[in-house]
Amino acid sequence: MLQFKKVKHMDWSTFFINIRNKPYAEKLHKFLDEEYHEHICYPPRAQMFNAFTLTSYDSIKVVIIGQDPYHNEKQAMGLAFSVPNGIPLPPSLKNIYREITNDFGCEMTDNGDLTYLAEQGVLLLNARLSVRAHTPLSHDIPEYEQFLIDVLKFIDQNPQPIVFLLWGGFARNLKKHITNPARIILESVHPSPLSANRGGWFNQHQFKQTNDYLIKNGRSPINWQNH
C-alpha cells in the first residue's frame, strides 16, 4: 500500500502528487478518458474532485462517504448526496434533512446543494467519483477502491479530531481503514427510504453527536441548517 511522503505541510496536492504515478492512478485516468469520451457520464468531469476542492485537508471536521454519484442528468455535482439548487431533493437527502430538523429543530429549505457543508469542513466523498448515465455502480472498479483506501489513509494522518459518519453497509465496512485515535465513528443504516424506513436512521442524533464531539475537542461545530 502507498506510503505517503511526510512533508511539513500536508494538503490535497501532497496526496495527488504521491499517487499520480502509481499504476492504479494511471489506469484510472485512462479508464475515465475512455468512459467520458464514449459514454455520457456524471458528474461533469470538471466537477469530479469538488469534494477535495471545496474542503481543504486542514479544514476537515467530518467525513461522509457515499457509494457513487447520482446517475441521472443534472444531479451529480462532485459532492456525496448533494444536488444543484433547483433540482428536486433525492429521497436520501430528504431523510438527511429530516434528521437534521429532528436534531436541531430548524427548518430546511428545498435547496439540495451541500456546498455550504463542504465549506465548513464536511468532506462529502463518494467512493466512486463517476458513473455512467442511468447505470448505478457502472464505475465500480478496483482502481477506485484503491484510490478510496489511499484517501482514507491520508486523512488518518491528519492530527485534528474528525468525525466519520458511516451510513449503510458499504460505508461501515471502511472503518477498518480508520485507525487514528483522534476520531469518532458514528454508524447507522443508509438514509435511503428502503433502509431508513425499517429503523436505524431516524432519531439517532448523529448530527448533534457530531457537534458535541467537535465542541468537546476544541473545534467549532457545523451549522447543518441550509439557510
pLDDT tens digits, 173-183: 999 999 999 99
Per-residue confidence (pLDDT) for residue 227, from 0 to 100: 85
223 assigned to some structural domain: no
222 assigned to some structural domain: no
- Taking Cα atoms as reference points, which of 117, 144, 140, 135 lies closest to residue 42? 135
Per-residue confidence (pLDDT) for residue 87, from 0 to 100: 98
Q: Does residue 1 have a pLDDT over 60?
A: no
pLDDT tens digits, 16-46: 999 999 999 999 999 999 999 999 999 999 9
**H helix intervals, 20-141:** 23-38, 50-54, 91-104, 115-118
Cβ atoms of 128 and 139 within 8 Å: the answer is yes
Range of the domain at 30: 12-216
6 assigned to some structural domain: no
Beta-ladder partners of 125: 65
Q: Does residue 129 have a pLDDT over 60?
A: yes
**pLDDT mean over 67-78:** 96
Spatial distance between the Cα atoms of 79 and 66, rounded to a whole number of angstroms:
9
Q: Does residue 4 have a pLDDT over 80?
A: no
Please tell me which residue in 11, 33, 68, 103 is annotated as part of the active site.
Answer: 68
83 assigned to some structural domain: yes
**pLDDT mean over 117-131:** 97
Q: Does residue 130 have a pLDDT over 70?
A: yes
Spatial distance between the Cα atoms of 38 and 129, rounded to a whole number of angstroms:
17
37 assigned to some structural domain: yes
Q: How many domains does the chain have?
A: 1
Q: Does residue 97 have a pLDDT over 50?
A: yes
- CB count, 10 Å around CB of 225? 15
Per-residue confidence (pLDDT) for residue 8, from 0 to 100: 52
5 assigned to some structural domain: no
pLDDT tens digits, 148-172: 999 999 999 999 999 999 999 999 9
169 assigned to some structural domain: yes
Percent of the chain past pLDDT 90, that is, above it, reads: 95
161 assigned to some structural domain: yes
**pTM beyond cutoff 0.85:** yes
Say which CATH number the domain at 135 has: 3.40.470.10
Dihedral sign, Cα of residue 68, residue 70, residue 74, residue 75? negative
103 is catalytic: no
